[in-house]
Structure 1
Amino acid sequence: SRAFAEEIPVQPEAVVIVDMIGDANLNIHLEKNSDVAIRTEIWSVAERLGYSAQFINNEKFSMLDDHTPFLEAGIPAVDLIDFDYPYWHTTEDTPDKVSAESLKAVGDTLLTWIMEKPKP
């Protein structure tokens, strides 16, 4: 992401990093380094769609992740990550752990957020 952020041809309105969001026990907390305005918009959409159980409205983690280079470049960015995933970096991190419901919650939320954004 660092190389991309340095050479990005067109400045986007925002960047959303979607990371580790497929497990059945989805708990995406507010990431402390993410852009507060974008974070607030996304969590508001999730709440309206009934996904408050998956999008937890409290800060839990402070991440230096793929969103960081964009923030450093002045581009609003958020990191949607469920860092409470016991199988991460183990041999048990297999496709059977992926939850269609979790993917739907994130997909519905982000699609709605994008569609409702005012067009420049």
Structure 2
Amino acid sequence: MKRTSVNPWEWNIKFGFHQAELVEGHRSMLVCAGQTSLDENGEVAHPGDMAAQIGLALDNVETVLHAAGMRLSDVVRLNMYTTDMEQFLQHVSVMGKRLEAAGVAPPGSLLQVSGLAFPGLVVELEATAVA
């Protein structure tokens, strides 16, 4: 698989994402449901704790990826939903460090929403991966 970043501007690079990625020569595509801070029993973990929820939501993304034989480095799009933009931006480095370590800066959208599926959830991550 060949990935080519497309950045007609450079301002976005300091925020850790590409404007687009051209993906060629892949065999499989995985479209994940939004992953949140739910534990293995479907219970909300870390209610209201943005940093911990970002970490667990990303852990859950990686669990789904691994179940499909993929890795975080295969993510080509990552949409982020939060109920508190200010808090998310204060703690986004929790995710940024892991994406950087995986060698990816996937394009995506960051949206503030009025609520998520269960009370106490403050972040949801929606990934698309190709391999």
> Would you say same fold, with TM above 0.5?
no
Q: Which has the higher contact order (CA 8 A, sep 6+)?
A: 1
User: Could you say which TM-score interval applies, normalised by the shorter chain?
Assistant: 0.3 to 0.5
How does the TM-score come out when normalised to structure 1?
Answer: 0.35
How does the TM-score come out when normalised to structure 2?
Answer: 0.33
Q: Which protein is richer in strand relative to its size?
A: 2
